[in-house]
Structure 1
Amino acid sequence: MHIILVTPAGPDSKAGNRATAVRWQSLLEQNGHRIEVVTDYRGEPCDLLIALHAWRSADALQTFRQHWLDKPLIVVLTGTDIYRYQKEFPEITRHSMAVADVLVGLHDKVSEDIPASFHHKLVTLRQSAEKPSPGGCPTVEPEHFDVCVIGHLRDEKDSLRAALAARLLPDESGIVVSCAGKPHNDEWHNKALNESRDNPRFRYLGELDKPALHNLMAVSKLMVISSVMEGGANVVSEACRAGLPVLASDIPGNRGLLGDDYPGYFPVVDERALAESLRRAETDSRFLAGLKAEVEALAETFTPERELEKLEFALARAVARAGNQDAAAEVP
């Protein structure tokens, strides 16, 4: 099929929406589809349209339906769609959900937070990550217990929570938190720089390219994802594929990837609880090994092959629904 994929993130962006679009383009082209990734859709013809973000892509969705009423349409629900814009802009967000033939959720608990009337449209897939290839020996500072935080610095990510937790650790702790990501604005940039200057346990690395991120994960003993909302963070997929233990905020977007029984949750926006979990991971080898075993067991759920299988299922279901055919197929 000729598929247009709309993302609000521009070509030079390293935002999650752009990364998802580029990865899906690569996966679907492997199966013979022709994929155009655009940020501005103006009614161009295609066989099917995929829109990343129900709220941010609302204009594109309206334009598509005005030009192509009967063509298949897939809308991918992001964390801000599910946990913010449904409440702040319910008419726009839910209209985008209503005009879609298929809704794609990126973690297993999305159905709990969207209207029941849309459940029949929902296809759940987990974003994939390549298994890191063996490289050279990364430089590890033996006196440090390195912890990484990876992701754009913004309110939704609560990006400095691990830094605040590190301030509460005892003097004998060797924990050092390294944070990599582009700041959302000048305020976040200044906050990260100030924290890096004032907190000896925190280093702000700025935005890193993929090789540098892989190196950061390789030298780290633990990753923290402290978000207050997530639609299904790809960095969790990357950590699982790398065998990197995770401490995660207790939110649906993390539980929907790691599972309800995962032992590494901490209460959201609670640096004291996070500090306790960090210290436990540093001093209790059995706890850290248990986290590692959990993420390694989950790794096979984040493979490109599994993601492509679910993408093809979503395409087939959208085509069937747009053609008023029976779309009640078995979910792979």
Structure 2
Amino acid sequence: MSKRPRVLIVSPALADANNGNWRTASRWGRFLAGVAEVEIARGWDGAACDAMIALHARRSAEAIAQLRAARPACPIALVLTGTDVYRDIEENEAARHSLQCASQLVVLQRDALDRLGADERAKTRVILQSATRLRRHAASRTVDLVAVGHLREEKDPLTLMAAARRLPADTPIRIVHIGEALAPELAEAARRTMAECPLYRWLGGLPRDAARRWIARARALVHMSRMEGGAQVVIEAVRSRVPVLASRIGGNLGLLGAEYEGYFPAGDAAALAALMERFAAEPAFAARLAAQCALREPLFTPEAERECVRRLLRDLLAPP
């Protein structure tokens, strides 16, 4: 191709949001920068482009519909998020219209395929996200657990707080919770938990590099989400050889595998507390989770994701 194609990546969140959508958009933009002219924006302004890659069926629905109506031949790849796959495509008409408009669909882990109809699956591929390797530091005497994710309903921060309250006073477990509170009542709940439960500490939002260093220092990542498309923090933990204590939801099963032993029922604070206590008390169990995560690590390399993203663009631009 003599001239590099122009690719618009539509993301409902940009750098100021510091969330998973932005990180995916930014990373994919870097992967494509060597083969395309890439712009990342919240919407489509009518400018010419050779292809659109849109994140989020519902929140990017307007941009997708506008481009499809104005330039029907322009290919569109739609990356489905957790709220898309596990809620919006069943409940939201705009999200369903985005599915129809898309030339290609992308899901971020294999479990999501089962949520799509036969017509959608026929144009869907799985692209696993990636993280650079950041090896864990030497463990401290305490069992330091970290949870990373903005405080909002889908991330289920209240279950972590309730689980912390259930732990015995003499536990060696210490919990660090990282993420901006996107609702005032969740900030208040975090402050109240800190005041009443000394082993729980909420740090608020941190830059990504700082959050990754916390993950790398931890004995385990705690991931409580009720809904995920394929959580980047789980991948970051695996790439640091840090095991994960994860809610048993499709997004986590798709990343860690159905046989992984570190799950608890989503929303079950008592089960999460029991899992944390077992992790702290049974070194063999903790080592088994670490070994299971290590087996998944090769799936999440930047080189593998970059090749998949570039192949997606090649397929979008291929003649019909």
Under a length normalisation based on structure 2, what TM-score does the superposition of the two structures give? Answer: 0.95
* Mapping for residues 1-332 of structure 1, pairs under 5 Å: 1-29=5-33, 31-89=34-92, 91-132=93-134, 142=141, 144-320=142-318, 323-324=319-320
Q: Per the alignment, in what secondary structure is the counterpart of residue 109 of structure 1? A: helix
Once residues 305 and 140 of structure 2 are traced to their aligned partners in structure 1, the CA distance between those partners, rounded to angstroms, is 36
Q: Is the 8 A contact 2:178 2:205 kept in 1?
A: yes
Share of identical aligned residues, percent?
A: 38
Which has the higher mean CA deviation after the structures are superposed, 259-268 or 187-196?
187-196
Say which SS state the counterpart of residue 14 (structure 2) adopts.
Answer: coil
Q: Secondary structure at the match of 2:59?
A: coil
Verify the 8 A CA contact 1:74 1:103 in the aligned structure 2.
yes
How far residue 214 of structure 1 moved from its aligned partner, in angstroms, is: 2.5
Partner Cα separation in structure 2 for residue 210 and residue 268 of structure 1: 25
CA distance in 1, matches of 2:269, 2:88: 27
* RMSD between aligned residues: 1.5
Give the C-alpha shift of residue 45 in structure 1.
0.6
* More displaced 10-residue stretch of structure 1: 10-19 or 148-157: 10-19
Q: Secondary structure at the match of 1:40?
A: coil
Q: Which amino acid aligns with 2:106?
A: V
Q: Deviations over 1:264-322 (max 9, x none)?
A: 111110011111111110010010001111111111110111101111222223234xx
| Structure 2 residue identity aligned to 1:78 | T
Instruction: Return 5+ residue gaps in structure 2 as ranges.
Output: none
Q: Secondary structure at the match of 1:289?
A: helix
- 1:191 aligned counterpart, secondary structure: helix
Mean alpha-carbon deviation: is it higher for 36-45 or for 234-243?
36-45
Task: Give the TM-score, by structure 1 length.
Answer: 0.91
8 Å contact from structure 2 (residues 18, 208) kept in 1: no
Q: Structure 1: any 5+ residue segments left out of the alignment?
A: 325-332
Structure 1 runs of 4+ off > 6 angstroms? none
Cα distance in 1, alignment partners of residues 290 and 8 from structure 2: 39
Find the aligned partners of 2:16 and 2:75 in 1 and give their Cα distance. Answer: 28
Contact 1:163 1:177 in 2 (8 A): no
CA distance in 1, matches of 2:307, 2:279: 36
1:104 aligned partner, one-letter code: V
Q: Distance in 2 between matches of 1:208 and 1:216?
A: 10
1:170 CA drift (Å): 2.3
AA matched with 1:296: A
Supply the distance in 1 between the matched residues of 2:189 and 2:37 (Cα, whole angstroms).
Answer: 43
